[in-house]
Amino acid sequence: MVLVYSLDVSAPLLRTQGYVDGRWISAASVFPVLDPATGQEIVRVSDCGPAEAKQAVDAAYKAFHSWKQYTAKERSVLLRKWFELLLLHKDELAQLITFECGKPMRESLGEISYSASFLEWFSEEARRVYGDIVPSPAKDRKLLLLKQPVGVASIITPWNFPSAMITRKVGAALAAGCTVVVKPAEDTPLSALALAELAEQAGIPAGVFNVVPCSRESTPSVGRVLCTDPLVAKISFTGSTATGKVLLKMAADTVKKVSMELGGHAPFIVFDSADLDKAVGGAMASKFRNSGQTCVCSNRFLVQSAVYDRFVEKLGGAMDAELRLGHGSEPDTTQGPLINARAAEKVLHQISDAVSRGAKVVKGGKRLDGSFMEPTLLADVTADMLCTKEETFGPLVPVIRQVQTGDRD
Query: Domains in the chain, start-ordered, CATH in brackets?
Result: 18-135+142-261 (3.40.605.10), 267-402 (3.40.309.10)
pLDDT in tens, 187-204: 999 999 999 999 999 999
- Return d(Cα 370, Cα 169) in angstroms, integer: 32
Higher-confidence residue of 304 and 405: namely 304
Q: Indicate the pTM of the whole model.
A: 0.94
pLDDT in tens, 339-389: 999 999 999 999 999 999 999 999 999 999 989 999 999 999 999 999 999
Summary mean pLDDT of the chain? 96
Query: What residue type is 295 in one-letter code?
Result: C
Note the pLDDT of residue 399.
Answer: 98
The catalytic residue positions are: 261, 295
Q: For 205, which DSSP code? A: P
- Return d(Cα 178, Cα 193) in angstroms, integer: 19
Higher-confidence residue of 10 and 342: namely 342
- Return d(Cα 69, Cα 264) in angstroms, integer: 39
What would the mean pLDDT of 104-120 be, rounded to a whole number?
98
- Return d(Cα 288, Cα 164) in angstroms, integer: 19
Q: For 204, which DSSP code? A: P
H helices of 262-382, in order, are: 276-288, 305-322, 341-356
What would the mean pLDDT of 225-239 be, rounded to a whole number?
98
Which residue, 181, 214, 174, is CA-closest to 26? 214
Note the pLDDT of residue 10.
Answer: 81
Which residue, 76, 242, 97, is CA-closest to 159? 97
Provide CB contacts within 8 A for 192, sequence distance 6+.
157, 162, 163, 166, 182, 184, 211, 213
Query: What residue type is 329 in one-letter code?
Result: S
What would the mean pLDDT of 203-209 be, rounded to a whole number?
98
Examine the pLDDT at 405 and tell me if it is beyond 70.
Answer: no
In percent, how much of the chain has pLDDT > 70? 98
